[in-house]
Every structure is written in C-alpha cells, then in structure tokens.
Amino acid sequence: MTGVGHEEPPPPRGPLSGVRVLELAGLAPGPFAGMMLADHGAEVLRVDRVAAVAAAGDTPRTDVMDRGKRTIGLDLKSPDGVAAFKDLAAAADVVIEVFRPGVAERLGIGPDDLRAVNPRLVYGRLTGWGQDGPLARTAGHDIDYIAVSGVLSMLGRAGEPPTPPINILGDFAGGGLMLAYGVLLALFERERTGRGTVIDAAMVDGAAALFAMFYNSANTGLWGPRGTNLLDTGAPMYDTYETADGGHLAVGALEGPFWAELLERTGLTGLPSRADPANWPAIRERLAETFRTRTRAEWQEIFEGSDACVSPVLSLAEAPHHPHNKARGTFIEVAGVTQPSPSPRLGGSPPASPAPATRLHDLTTWGLDASRADTLRAAGVLA
C-alpha cells in the first residue's frame, strides 16, 4: 500500500499501463471513469482546486473512486494555472472533464486548446445532456436524464409512480462507464490514425443505450406497462419477498426447471399455472406467505447449492462477508475502507489491489520542472 506523500508512480500493471490520464475533479461519474482506467493500469493525475488539496495535505484520500490516483491542486482561473495545465496535457494521453458545455473553452482548456499542443490527446467530455441539443446548457441530475431517455418510465411497480433506482443508471452506468468505454475506443482508434479525438459522453444517451433490449421489446409489443412484465416485478417468479425476521429474498426462478426446484424446496403444491398472468397475483400471495414462515438464514440454508435462483438480499455491510464474494475476492480493503475490487478480470488473474490516492509533488515527468513548480506554489497557483 502506498505510503503518505509517496512520489513514485505505481509499478506498471494492467493493459492500460503507460496511458496517462488527466482527470479534472468533478462530481462522481467523472471520478468513476477515472477509477475504471486507474484500476487497469492507467496513470491518473487528478487535478483539483488548490484549496481542497492544500487542506487535505499529504493524507491519502479514502474516497473509493480516487483509489490508484495521484492528486494536485491547480488554479485554472489563473493564466499561469492554465499554462501549466496545457503543459500537463502535452504529456498526457487522455483528459477527462465534466463541466457544462462551454466552460472548458472559457477557461482556455477546451479540446481545441489542448489538442493544439497535443494532437494525439483523447479529450473525454461527460455531461448529462451532451454537448448540443436544446437542453445542453441546462442543469439536471440522474433522475432527469433517465426520465427524458424513457428509462425511468419503465421502473417501478404497477399502479405506482416511476421509482428512480438511486443514481446508478444515468450517472454511473450511462455516464462514467460509457465515458471510460469511449476512452478505450478513442485510444484504439488513435493506434490506427495517430490522432486523438473528442468524446461526447451524455448520460441521457448512455441510459437510452443501456435499455436497447427493452426499446426493442416495447416496439414489438413484448413489453407492457410498468410493473406488469416478466422482469419488472410483474411476475411472482422474479421479485423479492420478506422473510420471518424482516429480511428479504431475491427470487429469479424464470425457467421451468428452476421453478420446479423452487417448488420442491419450499414444499409448495397446488399452485395455478404460472403461464397465465391472470394467476400471478395468487401465486405471489402463496409465495409471500411461505417465505414469511422462516428467517432469511433458514431459507438461505434450504436453497444452498440449488438451481432455484433464490438468493439472500444482502446489505452493503453484509455482502463482503458472503462466502462466494470472499472466495472470489470481490471486495478488497484499501486504506482501511472496504470496497469493490477492480472489474472485470483479464486472463484469469485475481483482481489488482489499488493503492489509496496520494498527493503528487514532483511533476517533472509531467512536463513541469521543479523550479517552475516552486514558483507556481509560491504564487498559490499550484498545490
């Protein structure tokens, strides 16, 4: 584990070893994209506000999404700070920014500004609405982006308002993960063309893309109103149920053999045919009554090793201790914080264990010599 104030970059590891990323500090989706790249070997330099970095000192950050990164503070409202950032960009492969459209240009660090000093630079832009369109310059949050994409209309139970699934679909899956994917595409393209490109990653676009299968199903008449379908709590064989101790079980016994095993292990008999949706309410009631007769742990033991597709609904505190997660190393501890391991895994190797974020003092390998860095620090431009 990297020590306090450690200057050396981590040893080369992963397919992105040698790729340098400048990540402009911002809300969670941007750091998440940077984390995905750092987890697989990229050297990520996080550029934050001077005051924030100075206040933190050399204490490693414990924020999960900053793991494996190094941090500096830079005043991008200062001409000297902008000039320094351009020098850093000249030594980088990728820049990630999460500003509203036009902000980077006003600061003098937009795509044209930086690619003028580094034509090979991949410039990743992540916003909610995208770089153009009627909503591009308006405020929004995950809930707005998935609402306009059509995704939110599909989430929730029948007869109830749409239910936002925390900010996972817009911010992280449709945003940060899509940006990281875009960076990889752009780097691959650069190998053929020799030039970088600009990535316009919009959460509204990404969320819509995630639901491609469901748009197809809706267009072909295979998907009905919210909460009435096979996978959206409409069907009793794909839902959650409360247990005797207030815990919950997740049931996903869709296929015939899985359903048969569920019935065998619960002892349920005499149920109407599940092939007819008209019978679903009665089946759900019987299942609910049955699952309430035992605790979650008791049901977990009953279904252990079975193909009934019944699993305990674990809390964030419980999940790292589940035997399967422990065997896989699905969770690790970094700087005393339990967190998910890097994913996916390549070549069958176990997941890497990233170091906590550290503050970077020596910027010579990024194009800033020591004397210039000292001058910038004395002026309050660099931290």
Active site residues: 141, 171
CA-closest candidate to residue 210, choices 255, 252, 165: 165
Q: Which amino acid is at 329?
A: G
Q: Is 320 left (phi over 0), alpha (psi -120 to 50) or beta?
A: alpha
The C-alpha torsion from 185 through 188 and 190 to 192, rounded to 10°, is: -130
CB-based contact 74:47 (threshold 8 Å): yes
DSSP 8-state secondary structure symbol assigned to residue 59: P
Helix (H, G, I), strand (E, B) or coil at 167: coil
Structure tokens at 97: 């920014």
Residue 101: other Cβ atoms inside 10 A: 17
Q: Which of 125, 133, 169, 175 is nearest to 150 (CA)?
A: 169
Comparing CA positions, the residue from 85, 183, 56 lying closest to residue 125 is 183
DSSP lists the bridge partners of residue 201 as 126
Alpha carbon 294 to its chain centroid, in Å, reads 36
In angstroms, the CA 73 to CA 377 distance is 10
Residue 106: partners with Cβ closer than 8 Å, 6 or more residues away = none
Kindly tell me the burial class for residue 159, based on how many C-beta atoms sit within 10 Å of its own C-beta (0-12, 13-18, 19 or more): exposed
Handedness of CA 339, 345, 349, 354 (dihedral sign): negative
